[in-house]
């Protein structure tokens, strides 16, 4: 069972109190983009065995969306952070590097 | 005007742990910038309490204010005063990005009373109910079995539960069933 700390209300929320929201840090390609870019934005998702970044919503609590970094293989959580960001904060990256040296995920490493 | 009745109409169940419909309670959802001076003074005027810190509640004599999320408060006032309180909040907050709604009739309000009140909640919600982790003055929004709920403790043996009125019967039966089977003696 996953337990994620909501960065907005500080509650250590059980997985059943949360709603998953797929992959984090998607860049939106809309009108004016190429077909390949739009297809990538719409359909192409990471499916790693290891470090992964996801969106979660604290649906039974404060109702806010936040982002989480975790390992899909071990369920280890590296940290959660505000959704108002386009890339993982430095301390999250450092926490992952400490546990999984040489990790990479999309353009982040 | 028809007579307002709370969802379980004052029903009570249990002896050593008592679960009861706590009756009509005026509730106002207030959304806005919680750090704004205008909002702070409006909340103080409506409830007599200051805006609480994250996850906290101030409640005394039927009036209170609870922190629901970074931009949402739940104001508790006597049932009959809710409409007037909304009107004065709207007047005080005119021109600011905010919203005040009287949700009294959309909510159910229960009380769980008894030495093992913590156990009743611990069995149905994914919350650490140990006295070191949760105590009076804190409010927790969570789920109870399959329904969304919020609860707080006014003292070590009294827990107040708020949920949507549409799941009021479910919540009352759930609390009563949990209370019936007694303490788990985990705390």
B79: left (phi over 0), alpha (psi -120 to 50) or beta: alpha
Q: Which CATH class is domain B106-180?
A: alpha beta
Asked if A10 lies within 8 A of B148 by C-beta distance, the reply is: no
> Residue ranges of the domains in chain A?
3-99
Residue A62 and residue B141: Cβ atoms within 8 Å?
Answer: yes
Q: What is the pLDDT of residues B139-150, one digit of tens each?
A: 999 999 999 999
- Tally of CB atoms within 10 A around B76: 26
Average pLDDT, chain A: 94
Contact present, B25 and B104 (Cβ < 8 Å): yes
Residue B90: is its pLDDT beyond 80?
yes
pLDDT value at residue B14: 87
Q: What's the confidence (pLDDT) of residue B1?
A: 66
pLDDT the model gives residue B48: 94
Under CATH, which architecture does the A3-99 domain have? 2-Layer Sandwich (3.30)
Please tell me the class of the B26-105 domain.
alpha beta
- Chain B CB contacts of A12 below 8 Å: 128
Those residues whose C-beta lies under 8 Å from the C-beta of residue B133, and which sit 6 or more positions away, are: none
Q: Chain B residues with CB inside 8 Å of A61's CB?
A: 69, 141-142
ipTM of the complex: 0.86
Give percent of chain A with pLDDT exceeding 70. Answer: 100
Q: Which residue has the tokens 């303490």?
A: B183
Collect all residues of chain A within an 8 Å Cβ-Cβ radius of residue B126.
13-14, 16-17
Mind listing the pLDDT tens digit of every residue in chain A (109 residues)?
899 999 999 999 999 999 999 999 999 998 999 999 999 999 999 999 999 999 999 999 999 999 999 999 999 999 999 999 999 999 999 999 999 999 999 888 8
What are the structural domain ranges in chain B?
Answer: 26-105, 106-180
Q: How many CA atoms lie within 13 A of A93 on its CB side?
A: 10
């Amino acid at each position: 069972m996953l337990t994620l700390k909501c960065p907005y209300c500080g509650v250590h929320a059980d997985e059943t109190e949360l709603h998953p929201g797929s992959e984090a840090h998607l860049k939106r390609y809309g009108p004016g983009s190429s077909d390949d870019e739009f297809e990538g934005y719409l359909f192409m998702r990471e499916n790693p065995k290891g470090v992964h970044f996801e969106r979660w919503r604290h649906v039974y609590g404060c109702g806010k969306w936040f982002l989480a970094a975790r390992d899909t293989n071990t369920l280890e959580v590296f940290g959660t952070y505000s959704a108002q960001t386009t890339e993982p904060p430095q301390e999250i990256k450092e926490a992952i590097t400490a546990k999984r040296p040489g990790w990479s995920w999309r353009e982040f490493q | 005007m028809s007579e307002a009745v709370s969802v379980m109409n004052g029903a009570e169940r249990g002896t050593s742990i008592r679960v009861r419909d706590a009756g009509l309670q005026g509730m106002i959802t207030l959304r806005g910038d919680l750090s704004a001076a205008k909002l702070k003074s409006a909340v103080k005027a409506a409830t007599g309490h200051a805006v609480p810190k994250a996850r906290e509640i101030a409640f005394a004599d039927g009036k209170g204010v609870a922190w629901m999320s970074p931009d949402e408060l739940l104001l508790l006032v006597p049932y009959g005063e809710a409409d007037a309180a909304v009107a004065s909040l709207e007047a005080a907050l005119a021109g600011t990005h905010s919203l005040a709604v009287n949700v009294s009739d959309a909510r159910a309000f229960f009380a769980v009373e008894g030495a093992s009140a913590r156990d009743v909640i611990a069995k149905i919600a994914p919350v650490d109910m140990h006295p070191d982790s949760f105590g009076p003055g804190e409010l927790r929004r969570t789920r109870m079995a399959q329904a969304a709920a919020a609860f707080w403790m006014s003292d070590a043996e009294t827990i107040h539960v708020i949920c949507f009125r549409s799941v009021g019967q479910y919540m009352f039966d759930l609390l009563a069933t949990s209370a019936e089977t007694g303490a788990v003696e985990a705390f």
